[in-house]
């Protein structure tokens, strides 16, 4: 409680050595456009930049002194990653997508230098990547993303991570809920870790009122969302199942922010409408260094190519042949059928008790060594989630071992149950 109280207060701290020069002015400009869009007759629209920032809580003054500067909330919303990490060394934002072979197909972080790296611009970049779902899915994702941003403990480890796979989108942030989940779902009460950040999102109608975010997500989701809290990591993870995302074709218009969805939320026009857009300098993800089509381990080249493995496009998503080394080997096929049956409980229950998940993992790896992507496929979990929440713990406890303990990054690294 003492830690949470401290973090809440930090949102209002005045950083006297951080002034207007530390702002990413395009972010401020765009925010003011959003504000004017939803409040066209508001008297704050005519204020100078510093006065406007003071009104919304992004600028502060230290009483009884002449000192003033950005608030921590203003730094998070409108500055750049380099300045933010000077104050909050653990600060980190990431978006990543996985293809069917559990390889990154798209990724950007607050550290990649192609954009500001602040939380305001992060919202738009992420929602642009999630723009091709149904309206209900996009609204649920908006709620989950804003929830992660305004409730994150920016002093915590791991940062905010948004992870998209074919069947779900996951929003992970440092910090636990300050109230019981049952109370959070019932609505009406909220524990605001970053009250000024929350207020700034309210001003542009990205939030409604305190305490309704989770209830809204649960109401509009086509399937039941899953919320996990990991006490030992102090992280909150919200997983939203998605019915389907059409195959996306990367074209120039992929860089249009929010697209038609902005009209549905009464947002301003796309922030890429003019040449001064805050993201006008961004290039297609296929031009970046991290593009999966330019790396040496491209999924379509080299010995690790998915074409050369048995995850052939000729085997459907649920086929057990995705995990076999030889579909002609009857004995091994039978083993993989058994693996599929063992893991069924994890695929059906997204909120499986940790002890039960560990038991299932140990049973699977007792049959034969399994690679991380195989376990992720069998259990319908993310590789990072398995590695961070279960496999590392089982290795530390001596219940499992690595197939190649002397080569941690071996391309065929696998996990084996100690019998």
pLDDT tens column, 175-215: 886 555 555 555 544 567 899 999 999 999 998 655 444 55
Residue 268 is given by DSSP the state: P
pLDDT of residue 287: 42
DSSP 329-390: -HHHHHHHHHHHHHTHHHHH-TT--HHHHHHHHHHHHHHS-B-HHHHHHHHT--HHHHIIII
Report the interhelical angle of 25-38 vs 195-203 (nearest 10°).
60
pLDDT of residue 335: 55
For the beta carbon of residue 30, count every other beta carbon within 10 angstroms.
23
> Would the pLDDT of 324 be above 60?
no
Q: Which residues pair with 168 in a beta bridge?
A: 165, 241
pLDDT tens figures, 236-257? 999 888 764 444 433 333 333 3
pLDDT of residue 12: 83
Distance of alpha carbon 314 from alpha carbon 316, whole angstroms: 6
pLDDT of residue 180: 52
Greatest C-alpha distance within the chain:
81
pLDDT tens figures, 96-147? 998 766 677 899 999 999 999 999 999 999 999 998 877 878 888 898 999 9
Distance of alpha carbon 127 from alpha carbon 145, whole angstroms: 9
C-alpha pair distances (Å), 286 with each of 13, 131, 292, 294: 40, 18, 8, 8
- Residue 106 phi/psi, 5-degree rounding, is -160, 135
More confident residue, 322 or 406: 406
Distance of alpha carbon 94 from alpha carbon 321, whole angstroms: 33
Cβ atoms of 177 and 229 within 8 Å: the answer is yes
Residue 169 is given by DSSP the state: E
Residues 6 or more apart whose Cβ sits within 8 Å of residue 20: 49, 50
Cβ atoms of 339 and 367 within 8 Å: the answer is yes
> Would the pLDDT of 313 be above 70?
no
pLDDT of residue 263: 38
Termini Cα distance of the chain: 42
pLDDT tens figures, 48-84? 999 999 999 999 999 888 899 999 999 999 999 999 9
pLDDT of residue 301: 44
Mean pLDDT of 398-403: 92
Percent of the chain scoring above 90 in pLDDT: 42
Q: From 79, 59, 62, select the one nearest 70 (Cα to Cα).
A: 59
Cβ atoms of 134 and 243 within 8 Å: the answer is yes
Cβ atoms of 94 and 215 within 8 Å: the answer is no
Q: By CB neighbour count within 10 A (0-12 exposed, 13-18 middle, 19+ buried), where does 231 fall?
A: exposed
In this prediction, residue 349 has a pLDDT band, given cuts at 50, 70 and 90, of confident
């Amino acid at each position: 409680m003492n830690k949470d109280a401290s973090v809440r207060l930090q949102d209002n701290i005045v950083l006297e050595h951080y002034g207007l020069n530390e702002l990413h002015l395009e972010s401020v400009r765009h925010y003011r456009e959003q504000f004017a869009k939803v409040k066209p007759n508001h008297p704050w629209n005519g204020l100078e930049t510093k006065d406007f920032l003071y009104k919304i809580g992004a600028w502060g003054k230290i009483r009884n002194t002449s000192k003033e500067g950005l608030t921590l909330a203003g730094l998070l919303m409108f500055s750049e990653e380099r300045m933010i990490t000077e104050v909050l060394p653990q600060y980190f934002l990431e978006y990543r997508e996985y293809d069917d072979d559990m390889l990154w197909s798209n990724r950007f972080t607050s550290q990649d230098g192609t954009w500001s790296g602040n939380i305001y611009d992060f919202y738009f970049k992420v929602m642009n990547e999630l723009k091709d779902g149904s309206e209900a899915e996009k609204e649920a994702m908006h709620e989950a993303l804003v929830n992660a941003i305004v409730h994150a403990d920016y002093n915590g480890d791991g940062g905010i991570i948004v992870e998209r796979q074919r069947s779900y989108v996951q929003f992970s942030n440092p910090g636990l809920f300050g109230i019981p989940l049952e109370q959070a779902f019932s609505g009406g009460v909220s524990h605001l870790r970053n009250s000024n950040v929350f207020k700034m999102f309210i001003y542009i109608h990205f939030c409604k009122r305190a305490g309704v975010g989770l209830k809204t997500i649960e109401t509009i989701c086509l399937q039941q969302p899953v919320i996990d809290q990991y006490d030992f990591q102090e992280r909150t993870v919200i997983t939203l199942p998605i019915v389907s995302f059409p195959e996306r074709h990367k074209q120039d218009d992929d860089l249009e922010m929010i697209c038609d969805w902005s009209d549905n939320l009464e947002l301003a026009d796309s922030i890429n409408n003019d040449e001064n857009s805050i993201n006008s300098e961004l290039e297609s993800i296929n031009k970046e260094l991290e593009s999966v089509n330019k790396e040496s381990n491209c999924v379509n080249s080299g010995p690790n190519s998915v074409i050369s493995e048995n995850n052939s496009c000729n085997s459907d998503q649920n086929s057990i042949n995705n995990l076999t080394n030889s579909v002609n080997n009857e004995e091994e096929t039978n083993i993989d059928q058994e693996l599929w049956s063992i893991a069924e409980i994890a695929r059906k229950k997204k909120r499986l008790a940790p002890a039960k998940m560990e038991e299932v993992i140990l049973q699977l790896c007792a049959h034969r060594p399994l690679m991380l992507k195989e376990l992720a496929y069998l259990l319908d979990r993310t590789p990072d989630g398995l590695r961070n929440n279960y496999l590392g713990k089982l290795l530390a406890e001596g219940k499992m071992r690595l197939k190649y303990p002397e080569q941690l990054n071996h391309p065929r690294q696998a996990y084996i149950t100690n019998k």
